């Protein structure tokens, strides 16, 4: 796809309004120029292709699971196959899609542009990260072919040490993907520390950079623990080292501590960059300066650090002691504070703003609604007494899908649509984009809202059959049907979204340098950006001074108010 | 080298060179402390054997980090990173240990019951 | 640290050869690299942290296993290895000093000595491992001690009282920790050998010695981890 994209864009005008003839897509040709590139923008595009492929694969697994559950008893697959399907859905979506999703695609593309740099600090490490992602993906494909995986994405012992399914290839895949994620994190921290343009102090950085920085802290501090946990699991299966196996005096609950020390902070790896995207989108499409800049910035770091203190809330029913459970429950409540700070600041940004319902903003509004529900239902689960009732029910499934799909995925789509004109140099059809956002919003709600009801009434997660529950809860049938219909609607919505975006690559109008009126530095270079991003190092001003830009119908984009000429391929000098 | 960069100060320009005497002194201290820790281990101090050994190891590690790894002369931020890593390790170890030790009696009770059956 | 990308062959004339295109100055590049290296070391600390955590948990709940089983380890070999590794750390720090001072022969010599020390360390480790293998003193699932009367390695089973339950878990932790550490030594040897070749070719100078410096940081961390492993595994009690 990338190849064709490059090809389709080549013969464009260089008159300043359309894509410049020499940009990062056309700078070099051939497969090798992509696979061995050190350009952060090309690496981001390759990540995008891979990640969307994984998303589609994981989505197919989800559709199969929902189809199986459309009526009680066997529908389309065996019980065993069902266990494989929900496991692979979770593993592919989490390890291959959501964790690298926003940082490796949008972060990789935008971060150096946002801070006014020519590349990330370590371009080779960035390429290595992409290659490790590909190797990880290959491990998952191997897993599919040599017996699948039926442990659930959490690899809980002791089942994962006993099952005949292909735990080791999947575990090694997750291990490799972990290092891919670590490399991205190291790169981003070093880039933000050392490569900011002159004038860009910490508090003049776009909030997406703050979010990526906070994410990178988690990637660096938490992911190694996943690595060693997974190595121990593999050693358990191959060598019988017994650390997690009661047979040799080991402790399976210890595995859960190890696993969640990574995997709870990993939840914030998934959502924090999404929050950063929303901060950008809300300000630009409200045509207002972001409200509470410092609070949003600090809250990102607070979430990153606080996120390390709450992992035990996954283990309230695992035999944890009441003392530890109370500590973890109290800490879990307090982590909701920085998230709420962000939401209130976004709302305050929109207040009295001149809101334009362009596609990215539609996603941002959907994010606020869905993340609100996802976040608030988390409090039910952080409460010890209610969690005992709700643990391992569909309530949990609905909660984290509202956060992961309604939060991370919607924010990914918001960011993808926001930066799409910059990435491809093309504009997508706005109406179709909005339709895709609306359908996605409806689909997600229809899929997951019934699951809250199912879960609160006792429908356990990961069950193949619910015939035995229908005597007491006959309405479970309808709720499952509604949820499955929602899944199909979401599939239609994603088809519309991807169709719109792919169509724009071939048929879209050329995008101006600044289609939305953003004040961050990436909008100062051409769409798509030249190979080197900035011909001369730009000087940064206030990233949210959006009122300094006005719409110019001649180029269907925004220009600086005082500037007599529209911005060309070179950055506009500083303003203060 | 070109003129623009030649004028520029920085670690590549004027790197902090640790005096050889310092390196050798640190080495001697490390070897001495290794002997001390082996000697202390030979004395039965009960619980304190562990803490004594860890204290000596920590001093040795600090010497390595400060002098061999240049942290004493380096940007304070790098030292902060190192300490942050240790702090998060302590957090992980501490909370896990707190819980794992606390639920051991449950495991023992279960084992006794399983044996009785 | 990074050579310019092929597509960027047309560098501005005033761009020094070791400066990548996206950095403005050598200083900026050096500091970014150093920051990246420290971040990597932090990940290493937490990577080993999982094993330290497993050690702490089992030592806390079953101290008797550790007191009993550590007698099977050879304190003297452990101490020798500690000294060897500390010495290699000294030569590595010395190597950085040589690079900073443009002492090419000193740099090559220091790196070579470091490499030899790493080899000695692994050799001693091999002796220890093969002894354990011969006596069946392996990790939990494969723990089958061979009872050979008169063998000094087996003396403790009588001397130090009844063998506690699940002794194999100690050897699991021993092999996991020293094994992972050993892999890091092997990896470090590979990098040092590569740096040695470059140093012999005169690639480093006081202008450009980042690879030596960063490799040294890694090597010191490997030493630092061993400084904790030695007392935790070999010196548990009298």
* Closest by Cβ to C207, choosing from B1, B69, B89: B1
Q: Does B94 touch chain A (CB under 8 A)?
A: no
How far, in Å, CA of A202 to CA of A196, rounded?
A: 9
How far, in Å, CA of C223 to CA of C217, rounded?
A: 10
Of chain A, the percentage scoring pLDDT greater than 70 comes to 94
Mean pLDDT of C167-194: 95
Which residue from A51, A7, A11 is spatially nearest to A25, judged by alpha carbons? A7
How far, in Å, CA of A131 to CA of A122, rounded?
A: 14
Ranges A208-217, A492-501, B88-97, C154-163: which has the least confidence: C154-163
Which residue, chain included where needed, has tokens 């750390």?
A: C89
Q: What is the pLDDT of residue A528?
A: 93
Please report residues of C whose CB lies closer than 8 A to that of A193.
32, 35
Q: Is the pLDDT at A3 greater than 60, yes or no?
A: no
- Partner-chain contact C169 A232, CB within 8 Å: no
Q: What is the pLDDT of residue A532?
A: 87
Q: What is the pLDDT of residue A282?
A: 97
Taking only the tens place, the pLDDT of each residue in A443-484 is: 999 999 999 999 999 999 999 999 999 999 999 999 999 999
Do the Cβ atoms of A149 and A88 come closer than 8 Å? yes
Do the Cβ atoms of A415 and A102 come closer than 8 Å? yes
Q: Does C187 touch chain A (CB under 8 A)?
A: no
Mean pLDDT of A340-355: 96
Q: Is the pLDDT at A214 greater than 50, yes or no?
A: yes
Could you say which residues from 9 to 68 on chain B have a Cβ atom under 8 Å away from some Cβ of chain C? Answer: 9-13, 15, 17-18, 20, 23-24, 26-27, 30-31, 34, 37-38, 40-44, 49-50, 53-54, 56-57, 60-61, 64-65, 67-68
Indicate whether this complex's ipTM tops 0.85. yes
Q: Is the pLDDT at A489 greater than 70, yes or no?
A: yes
Taking only the tens place, the pLDDT of each residue in A48-80 is: 999 999 999 999 999 999 999 999 999 999 999
What pLDDT band is residue B44 in, cutting at 50, 70 and 90? confident
Mean pLDDT of A546-553: 91
Q: What is the pLDDT of residue C163?
A: 80
Q: What is the pLDDT of residue C161?
A: 64
Taking only the tens place, the pLDDT of each residue in A96-142 is: 999 999 999 999 999 999 999 999 999 999 999 999 999 999 999 99
In chain C, what are the domain boundaries? Answer: 33-234
Ranges A186-195, A395-404, C13-22: which has the least confidence: C13-22
Give the three-class secondary structure for A507: helix
Domains of chain A (ranges; CATH) run 2-28+40-69+91-120+132-247+265-560 (1.20.210.10)
What pLDDT band is residue A7 in, cutting at 50, 70 and 90? very low
Do the Cβ atoms of A451 and A62 come closer than 8 Å? no
Q: Is the pTM of this model over 0.80?
A: yes
Rounded to 10 degrees, the C-alpha dihedral A424/A103/A567/A518 comes to 110
Mean pLDDT of A265-281: 96
Q: Is the pLDDT at A10 greater than 90, yes or no?
A: no
How far, in Å, CA of A8 to CA of A507, rounded?
A: 9
How far, in Å, CA of A35 to CA of A43, rounded?
A: 8
CA nearest to C39 within chain B? B81
Ranges B20-24, C140-144, C160-164: which has the least confidence: C160-164
Which of C25, C93, C217 should we substitute to test contact with B (largest number of B Cβ atoms within 10 Å)? C93
Of chain B, the percentage scoring pLDDT greater than 70 comes to 87
Q: What average pLDDT does the structure give for chain A?
A: 91
What pLDDT band is residue A330 in, cutting at 50, 70 and 90? very high
Mean pLDDT of B85-104: 93
| Residue-wise burial string across A430-454, b where 16 or more C-beta atoms lie within 10 A, e elsewhere | eebbbbbbebbbebbbbbbbbbbbb
Query: Phi then psi for C91, rounded to 5 degrees?
Result: -65, -30
Q: Judging by DSSP bridges, how do beta strands A549-552 and A426-427 pair with one another?
A: unpaired
How far, in Å, CA of A235 to CA of C142, rounded?
A: 12
Q: Is the pLDDT at C13 greater than 50, yes or no?
A: no
Do the Cβ atoms of C32 and A190 come closer than 8 Å? yes
Q: Is the pLDDT at A567 greater than 90, yes or no?
A: no
| Residue-wise burial string across A559-569, b where 16 or more C-beta atoms lie within 10 A, e elsewhere | bbeeeeebbbb
- Partner-chain contact C39 A254, CB within 8 Å: no
User: C147: distance to nearest CA of chain B, Å?
Assistant: 26
Higher pLDDT, A373 or A569: A373
Mean pLDDT of A520-524: 93
What DSSP line would sit under B50-92, residue for residue?
HHHHHHHHHHHHHHIIIIIT-TTTS-HHHHHHHHHHHHHHHHH
How far, in Å, CA of A236 to CA of A250, rounded?
A: 10
Q: What is the pLDDT of residue A99?
A: 95
Mean pLDDT of C21-47: 93
Taking only the tens place, the pLDDT of each residue in A415-424 is: 999 999 999 9
CATH of domain C33-234: 1.20.120.80
- Partner-chain contact A249 C173, CB within 8 Å: no
| Residue-wise burial string across A327-343, b where 16 or more C-beta atoms lie within 10 A, e elsewhere | bbbebbeebbebbebbb
Q: Does A251 touch chain C (CB under 8 A)?
A: yes
Mean pLDDT of C15-23: 82
Q: What is the pLDDT of residue A574?
A: 46
């Amino acid at each position: 796809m990338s190849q064709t994209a490059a090809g389709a864009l080549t013969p464009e005008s260089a008159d300043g309004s359309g894509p410049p003839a020499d940009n990062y897509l056309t700078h070099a040709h051939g497969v090798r120029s992509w696979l061995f590139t050190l350009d952060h923008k090309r690496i981001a595009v390759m990540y995008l292709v891979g990640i969307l492929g994984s998303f589609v694969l994981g989505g197919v697994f989800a559709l199969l699971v929902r189809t199986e559950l459309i009526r009680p008893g066997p529908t389309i697959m065996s019980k065993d196959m069902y266990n494989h399907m929900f496991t692979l859905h979770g593993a592919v979506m989490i390890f291959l899609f959501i964790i690298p999703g926003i940082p490796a695609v949008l972060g990789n593309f935008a971060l150096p542009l946002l801070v006014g740099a020519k590349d990330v600090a370590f371009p080779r490490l960035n390429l290595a990260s992409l290659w490790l992602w590909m190797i990880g993906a290959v491990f998952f494909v191997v897993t599919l072919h040599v017996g699948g995986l039926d442990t659930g994405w959490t690899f809980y012992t002791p089942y994962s040490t006993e099952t005949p399914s292909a735990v080791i290839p999947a575990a090694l895949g997750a291990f490799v993907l972990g290092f891919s994620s670590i490399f991205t994190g190291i790169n981003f921290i070093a880039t933000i520390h050392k490569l900011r343009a002159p004038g860009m102090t910490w508090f003049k950085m776009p909030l997406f950079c703050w979010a990526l920085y906070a994410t990178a802290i988690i990637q660096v501090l938490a992911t190694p623990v996943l690595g060693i946990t997974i190595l121990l699991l593999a050693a358990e299966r191959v060598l019988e080292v017994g650390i997690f196996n009661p047979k040799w005096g080991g402790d399976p609950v210890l595995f859960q501590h190890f696993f969640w020390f990574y995997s709870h902070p990993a939840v914030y790896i998934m959502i924090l960059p999404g929050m950063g995207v929303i901060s950008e989108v809300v300000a630009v499409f409200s045509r207002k300066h972001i409200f509470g800049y410092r609070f949003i910035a600090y809250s990102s770091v607070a979430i990153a650090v606080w996120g390390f203190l709450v992992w035990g809330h996954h283990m309230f029913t695992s035999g944890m002691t009441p003392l530890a459970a109370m500590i973890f429950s109290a800490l879990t409540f307090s982590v909701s504070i920085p998230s709420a700070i962000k939401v209130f600041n976004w709302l305050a940004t929109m207040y009295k703003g001149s809101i334009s319902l362009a596609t990215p903003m539609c996603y941002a509004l959907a994010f606020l609604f869905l993340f609100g529900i996802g976040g608030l239902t988390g409090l039910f689960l952080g409460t010890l007494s209610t969690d005992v009732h709700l643990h391992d029910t569909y309530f949990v499934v609905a909660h984290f899908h509202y956060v992961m799909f309604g939060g991370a995925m919607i924010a990914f789509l918001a960011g993808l649509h926001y930066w799409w004109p910059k990435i491809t140099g093309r504009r997508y059809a706005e109406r179709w984009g909005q339709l895709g956002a609306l359908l996605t919003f409806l689909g997600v709600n229809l899929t997951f809202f019934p699951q809250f009801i199912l879960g609160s009434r006792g429908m356990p997660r990961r069950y193949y059959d619910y015939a035995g529950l229908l005597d007491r809860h006959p309405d479970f049938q309808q709720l499952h049907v509604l949820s499955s219909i929602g899944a199909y609607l979401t599939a239609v919505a994603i088809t519309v979204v991807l169709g719109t975006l792919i169509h724009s690559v071939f048929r879209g109008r050329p995008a101006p340098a600044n289609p939305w009126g953003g004040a961050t530095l990436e909008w100062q270079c051409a769409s798509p950006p030249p190979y080197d991003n900035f011909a001369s190092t730009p000087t940064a001003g206030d990233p949210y001074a959006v009122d300094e830009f006005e719409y110019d119908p001649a180029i269907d984009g925004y220009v600086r108010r005082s500037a007599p000429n529209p911005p060309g391929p070179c950055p506009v000098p500083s303003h203060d | 080298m070109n003129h623009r960069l030649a004028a520029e100060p920085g670690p590549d320009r004027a790197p902090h060179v640790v005096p050889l005497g310092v390196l050798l002194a640190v080495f001697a201290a490390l070897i001495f402390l290794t002997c001390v820790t082996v000697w202390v281990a030979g004395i039965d101090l009960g619980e304190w054997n562990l803490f004594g050994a860890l204290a000596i190891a920590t001093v040795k590690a600090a010497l390595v980090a400060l002098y061999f790894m240049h942290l004493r002369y380096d940007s304070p931020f790098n030292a902060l990173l190192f300490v942050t890593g240790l702090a998060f390790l302590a957090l992980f170890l501490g909370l896990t240990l707190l819980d794992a030790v606390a639920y051991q009696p449950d495991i023992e009770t279960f084992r006794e019951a399983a044996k009785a059956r | 640290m990074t050579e310019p990308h092929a597509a960027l062959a047309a560098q501005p004339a005033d761009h020094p050869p070791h400066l990548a295109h996206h950095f403005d100055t050598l200083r900026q590049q050096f500091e970014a690299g150093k920051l990246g290296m420290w971040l990597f070391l932090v990940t290493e600390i937490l990577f080993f942290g999982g094993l330290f955590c497993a050690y702490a948990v089992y030592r806390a709940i079953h101290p008797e296993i550790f007191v009993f089983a550590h007698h099977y380890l050879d304190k003297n070999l452990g101490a020798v290895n500690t000294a060897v590794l500390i010495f290699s750390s000294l030569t590595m720090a010395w190597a950085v000093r040589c690079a900073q001072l443009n002492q090419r022969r000193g740099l090559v010599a220091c790196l070579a000595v470091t490499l030899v020390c790493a080899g000695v360390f692994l050799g001693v480790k091999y002796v220890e491992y093969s002894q354990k293998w011969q006596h069946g003193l392996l990790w939990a699932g494969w723990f089958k001690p061979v009872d050979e009367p008169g063998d000094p390695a087996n003396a403790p089973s009588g001397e130090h009282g009844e063998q506690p339950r699940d002794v194999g878990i100690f050897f699991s932790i021993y092999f996991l920790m020293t094994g992972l550490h050993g892999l890091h030594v092997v990896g470090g040897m590979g990098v040092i050998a590569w740096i040695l070749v470059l140093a012999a070719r005169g690639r480093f100078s006081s202008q450009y010695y980042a690879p030596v410096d960063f490799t040294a940081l890694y090597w010191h961390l490997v030493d630092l981890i061993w400084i904790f492993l030695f007392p935790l595994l070999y010196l548990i009690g009298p």
